[in-house]
Each structure stands twice: as structure tokens, then as C-alpha cells.
Copies of this chain bind each other. A is one copy, B any other.
Amino acid sequence: MLTAIKGNILEALSLDTLGVHPHSYLVLEDGRVAGIYLTLPETMAEAQVTDFGDALILQSFSDMHLHGPQYEYMGTGMDRPLLEWLEAYAFPTEARYADPVYAREKYRTLAHDLIQNGTTRVCMFSSRHTDGTLILMEELEKAGITGYVGKVNMDRDAPDYLRETTEESQKETLRWLEGCKGFTKVKPILTPRFAPSCSDELLTFLGKLKAERDLPVQSHLSENLGEIALVAKLFPDCGQYWEVYDKYGLFDSRTLMAHCVHSDARERAAMSRKGVWPVHCASSNNSLMSGISPVADMLREGQAICLGSDVSGGTTLSMLRTMANSISAAKDRGSMTWDYDQAISIEQAYYMATSAGQTFFGLKLGFPEGELLHAIVLDDTGLPKLPSLTLRDRLLRAAYRLDDRHITAVYSEGIRRR
């Protein structure tokens, strides 16, 4: 069946190239992209058109780092030091996800709010709880969200009530992977919380599991200096933080590493060499005063950076806001270092929020032909109509000014979800 949506279509075709299709048709065949046309070709004349007028049609967002169980206290206690914040909010709340009823209710809200905000692809940390993690995957899939979710592994460096034994962590990981078999849209990703929270034995196990089952991996890397010092202490045989993951076979082209704020040239060279994907989390790096990631430099190096909301170190689920926060953080870094080349463009922010994630999932850039549609309609027509405003200008303005109210349609896997 042929359908089409019509509007001002914007694609992130490369880090610096915005594909701009004013008042065009995005034609779908059974929900899969058949092409973008300024006028409908004769062979497609019978397509049922949904006309969004002068609104913007964008790729939907890929949020490549967030913690499902942390959503409920987003924005809370952000003025506490990290460890105190973890003890006051993160750990006690996470413990409640042992309860499937509690988990179901909270994760349903999260899935709903992701769609409202135009996020249709995620890489998400769950808690350590197997059943809670499967529930999270169910709720995401039901809401129409695709991507990867990971049961967290943590057999040390956590409060007793939350920590697993090494054996338990291994057993539960296997049980979780068994439970993942019924899923078609949300897949498992191995998730050692971060190096310090996993024993050598557990990391060895995860590395083997990854190799055997060809699984992707997500974790944290060089977020703040205290953490880097802790890793150096716990893994004295590893010269740098990344070497811990590398040593256990958890550092390759299917690995997402959140933050990388303090990754130096050597660590960044290792990421490039191995094809690791850094996930930039501007809001959380700000809230927790971790530092400002040198994103512009890393993009120039060719790092495959994606964006993450990092709920709830981050204070917003909105990837529009996350784009704006990334631009703002880069500007703050620039003005504090007297280096205007630290700034990033709206093209780069949009690319990192959309196409970069798509490529991690094995998809082509922009609206790839033959793939099920993932798109949002962003209605900025209530904003002033300025003379000479380009579609690119409108995208930048939207990142600053619009929110979920203005996302008037969300398509995921070819189906309209909002």
C-alpha cells in the first residue's frame, strides 16, 4: 500500500550536510521509504497523502544513552555531589525495580514519554533486575520503540541491597538473554554498569558471552576524574580506563561508551582504531559537573559520536533539548578556552541525534530507502514567519524553542505512534 507524508523534509546526510526537501512527499510502500519527491511521480499518484502543511518532517531521534529506572527522579537533587546523589536517589529507587508491578507502571510512562518526545530508537540501561528488564523491553516494544536494552551487571561498588553476587549476575544474565528471544524490535545489549562495578571474573564472563553470541556492549568511560582514579586503582594492570574494557573484549565497533569527557588523545585514538562509539551527554555532564566534552575536536577526528539524554544525570528526555544543550555546552567550552572552533553546528547536532544512532543500528543515513519509516513532524508554524528564514534556520530555532507540544506526529517502524 502506497502512502505519503508531505511537508518540509530534513535529513542528516552527513555530519555537515543537511538534506533539504521543501514541501516534498516522503512516499512509503507498506511503511517503508520509497523515496522523497517534490512532486509525486505518476506511478505513485494513488498514494494516500497526509499533508502536514508547512511543518518540518525530521528523522526521529535515537537516544543512545539513558537509564530507564532513573526517569522518575529526573531533575531531582542535581545540586548534590555525585556519590550523595547516587545514594539519595539512584540506588534506592533502582532497588524498587525488583518489583514487577512497580517496574511495569514506571516503564510504561517512560515509553509513552519517549514517543511523545519523538524518540523511537534507544540504547538504554535497565537495572540489575532480570524481570524488570524484560518488562522494560516489553513496554518499549509495545509503544513502538526499537533498539537495545541492557540488564545492568554490578557485582561490586554498589550498596549491598543492589549488588549482585558474581554467580548471580552471570546466571541472571543468561536467564535474561533467554527471555529476550521473543522480542523482535528491542534487543539485548551487554551492560557492565561501568568498570568499577564489575569484578574481573564478571568482566571475563561478559567478554566471552559477547564473543559467543555476537552481542553489542554499552558502558561508561572517562566521565569524571574521580571515576578515572578509581579505575586506575582497581585495575592497576591497565594503563588507561578503556584498556579495562579492551582487555575483556568489550571494546569494539559494536560498543557504545557514554561520556568520554576526559578521554585524552591516546584514549580517543584507541576509540577510533577500535571503532567504538562515544555517546555525548551534555546535560548530565553539566548537571554533575563532570566537565565539558571536546565534541568538536572529536568530530574533527572522525569519532562516531551519538547523543544521549543520560536521564537522569541529564535533566531532559527531549532530544530536541539535548541537541540545544549540546550546542550550548560546546559554546561554553569554546568561550572558556577562547577557542571558537569548539562550537558545533545544528547540522552536527541533528546528525548526532539521528543518523549517528541509525548507523550504530546498521542503517544508512537520513531516510534510507527500503527501511521502515522513523520520523517526526515538528510543527513550528506557530512561531513568527520571518522573511528569509531557511529550513536550516528553522531547525536551529526549533531546537531552542520547541518541545513535545510541537511534535504533532511520530512514526516508528512505519507506523504512526502519535
Contact = CB atoms under 8 A, between A and B. Distances in A.
Interface of A: 72-79, 89, 93, 285-287, 289-292, 315-316, 324, 327-329, 331-337, 340, 343, 345-346, 384, 386, 389, 393, 396-401, 403, 405
8 contacts: A74-B397, A74-B400, A75-B400, A76-B389, A79-B343, A79-B396, A315-B400, A332-B333
B78 A396 contact: yes
B334 A74 contact: no
A289 B329 CA distance: 11
Nearest to A332: B332
B79 A316 contact: no
Contacts of A290: 335
A327 B79 CA distance: 9
A400 B76 CA distance: 9
A391 to B, nearest CB: 13
A343 B401 CA distance: 26
Contacts of A343: 79, 289
B384 A79 contact: no
A46 to B, nearest CB: 40
Contacts of A89: 386
Contacts of A345: 79
A357 B343 CA distance: 33
Contact of A72 (B75, B331, B384): B384
A75 B289 contact: no
A219 to B, nearest CB: 22
Contact of A401 (B75, B77, B285, B286): B75
Nearest to A346: B79
Nearest to A334: B289
Given A289-B334, A328-B328, 5 more contacts: A76-B396, A79-B345, A79-B396, A286-B328, A333-B336
Nearest to A109: B384
A316 B402 CA distance: 10
A334 B292 CA distance: 10
Contacts of A386: 72-73, 76, 89, 93
6 closest residue pairs by CB, A with B:
A75-B400, A336-B336, A332-B332, A75-B397, A315-B400, A72-B384
A40 to B, nearest CB: 32
B400 A403 contact: no
A393 B332 contact: no
